[in-house]
Structure 1
Amino acid sequence: MPLSPVSLLPLLSAASAATASASSHMPLRWDQLGLSPIAWDFGFFALRWYSLAYLAGILVGYWHLSRMIRQPGAPMAQRHADDLFFYATLGIILGGRLGYATFYAPELWTHPSEMIKLWQGGMSFHGGLIGTVCAIAFVCWRNRLSFIRVCDYIAPCAPIGLFFGRCANFMNGELWGRVTTADVPWAMVFPGAGPNPRHPSQLYEALLEGVLLATVLITLFWKTRARWRPGLLMGTFATGYALSRFIVEFYREPDAQLEDFALRTGLSMGQWLTLPMLAIGLALLVRALVRPPLGATALPPIVDPED
């Protein structure tokens, strides 16, 4: 999925600084990279990277979904994609915020005025996923569509939003990684995280959950007949995300209020939440692979997106 060169400039700047510091073994400092949570400040209004990330993820995902459903055998029409665009947006925002309050910050439930301050961050992927699944289920129920096949078409679009979201986390200087040594060339000192260098785990997630997972799913859709096996793309997404998140959590600092929970249980909250997702993903993969593909006797040819 092509990205605007402008949108990559902050990340390229960080990468160049990392290379320059490798020889001296001095850790990078986030506050010296020219990064800021605010993309543009108009004086009366500040446009944040966090907001732009959500907007970019939803719009690019909608564009890609619209291309996908023009291929033979799509389980929905453009009007259904339009409905999904609206309801999934609500599901992502409401589910993400409510999930964060439930899993990571229960005190928000007693302070409703703080709950609505989305611009301050605090969104849960797993909560957003639940909200999105509910939105998809509603659209499918109302239009009598196949829930699994619609999810298969949504799955390749989801990592696009994850990529933008994790990049925004990095631009915000939040959700940093665990303490490491300055010998790691890309080790970074984040504001508010103390003087020790840390893993930029936001970028690890952007690469694994975003770039790698998107590459796998988009390739499966356009270059193979995966979409003719109901549940295969959805299962690949669930399994791939769960494994990526589980691995990155070893390098990501647990939320301050959940450090004791991680020490007591041996796993972070993020890792515990990925386990049900991993089980569901594997079950979907097995189900998709043991059943015959749709239209096995007369599959239409694959249409290259560039034709």
Structure 2
Amino acid sequence: MLAALLPFPDIGPDIFTLELFGREFSLRWYAMAYIVGIIIGWFIAVQLFKRARLWPENKSPMTSENASDLVTWIILGVVLGGRFGFVLFYQPAYYFANPGEILQIWNGGMSFHGGALGVLIAGLIFCWKNKFSPLSVGDAIVVATPPAIFLGRIANFINAELWGRPTDLPWAVVFPGDAAQACATVEQMCARHPSQLYEALLEGLILCAVLFYLAIRKGWLKTPGALIGAFLAGYGIARFIVEFVRQPDAQFTSATNPLGYAWQIGEVGLTMGQLLSTPMIIVGLLIIWGARRRAA
């Protein structure tokens, strides 16, 4: 049966490694995903800002030159928010006991929900300092974000991390290391849902297509905030769905809680990803409702 499943591709986490001054320096796929994702996002935002006809009163909220300054704030928000979100949401006890490791981002550990919150704070500060419309700038940011999410999830797959639950579906993947050994049997190694690819499709490609359609074809950029709501609700729904087949973090699983619920009543519960995604869905829908109501 194992032969019918998909072997993990022979791709290492490092693109290349250089040895300089007696030390090794590696460029990892995950870092490259961040770099390329930010460049693509910057390009998309610049193109949107150049098209005044897409915005309220046919006036762009900022110039393309301002977008370059915004990127710096976005990078700070993503990195700091993503890291501190991971620390607070997923492993607070460990990092409070080992505070020296909190800033060791190179060892892994980033939270999308924390990164989103970091971008929100950074974007608000940037708009306040420069007197830009935070809703319109936010609309441009969320339209430019899904390509980076797509690349990040592909990097998660290459790194063989954040894998899915065990399954015998034809497209199940035999990940290397702990993922394969965790539920191995005498007959075969453990095969799992490639949940990173599910997220790349739902949170990346499909969400990107939806936001572009709403922005370009349906004119939602003329309704400040509507696309922010669409992004929050869309990402939240996609993440909530994938959590059903995504392996929960080890700290949430136990003999009495094998499904890794962070909140549970009886046999019903939600994973941490679902807990964090639920308010995103609710807030996103409320933002869309408020934006459309103001525009009516």
> TM-score by structure 1 length?
0.83
2:59 matches 1:59? no
C-alpha distance in structure 2 between counterparts of 1:110 and 1:80, whole Å: 41
8 Å Cα contact 2:142-2:231 kept in structure 1: yes
* Unpaired segments ≥5 residues, structure 1: 1-20, 294-307
Matching of residue 77 in structure 1 with residue 63 in structure 2: yes
Contact 2:220 2:227 in 1 (8 A): yes
Alpha-carbon contact 2:263-2:271 (below 8 Å) kept: no
Q: 1:48 aligns with which of 28, 31, 45?
A: 28
Following TM superposition, by how much is the alpha carbon of 1:290 offset from its aligned partner in structure 2, in angstroms?
2.1
Question: Residue 4 of structure 1 aligns with which residue?
Answer: none
Please give the alpha-carbon distance, in whole angstroms, between the structure 1 residues aligned to 2:198 and 2:248.
15
Q: Tell me which residue corresponds to 2:216.
A: 222
Whether 2:192 is the aligned partner of 1:198: answer: yes
| Residues 1:185 and 2:170 aligned together | yes
The aligned counterpart of 2:88 is: 102
SS of the residue aligned with 1:39?
Answer: strand
Partner of 2:109: 122
Q: Does residue 92 of structure 2 align to residue 93 of structure 1?
A: no
SS in 2 for 1:178: coil
Tell me which amino acid in the other structure corresponds to 1:80. Answer: N
Deviation, structure 1 residue 79 = 3.6
Residue 14 of structure 2 is aligned to residue 38 of structure 1: yes
Deviation of residue 232 (structure 1)?
1.2
Taking the aligned partners of 1:171 and 1:251, their CA distance within structure 2 comes to 18
Task: Give secondary structure in 2 for the equivalent of 1:262.
Answer: coil
1:41: Cα distance to partner? 2.1
Q: Aligned-pair distance for 1:25?
A: 5.9
Asked if 1:251 corresponds to 2:245, the answer is yes
- Provide, for residues 227-248 of structure 1, a one-character-per-residue CA deviation record: whole Å limited to 9, x for no partner: 1011111111011000000000
Match of 1:148 in 2: 135
Alpha-carbon distance in structure 2 between the residues aligned to 1:149 and 1:271: 28
Runs of 4+ in structure 1 off by over 3 angstroms are none
Counterpart CA distance in 1 for 2:123 and 2:69 is 9
| Pick aligned residue for 2:126 from 139, 161, 165 | 139
Match of 1:268 in 2: 271
The aligned counterpart of 1:287 is 290
Residues 262, 272 of structure 2: 8 Å contact kept: no
Q: CA deviation at 1:39?
A: 1.2
Q: Tell me how far apart the structure 1 counterparts of residues 249 and 273 of structure 2 sit (CA, whole Å).
A: 10
Q: Is the 8 A contact 1:25 1:185 kept in 2?
A: no
Please report the TM-score for the alignment, with normalisation by the length of structure 2.
0.86
Shift of residue 263, structure 1, vs aligned partner: 6.6
- The answer on whether the counterparts of 1:50 and 1:119 sit within 8 Å (CA) in structure 2 is no
- The reply to whether residue 26 of structure 1 matches residue 26 of structure 2 is no
CA separation in 2, counterparts of 1:257 and 1:169?
A: 19
Q: How many residue pairs get matched?
A: 267
Q: 3-state SS of the aligned residue for 2:171?
A: coil
* 3-state SS, counterpart of residue 261 of structure 2: helix
Instruction: State the AA in 1 paired with 2:261.
Output: A
Query: What's the RMSD between the two structures over aligned residues?
Result: 1.6
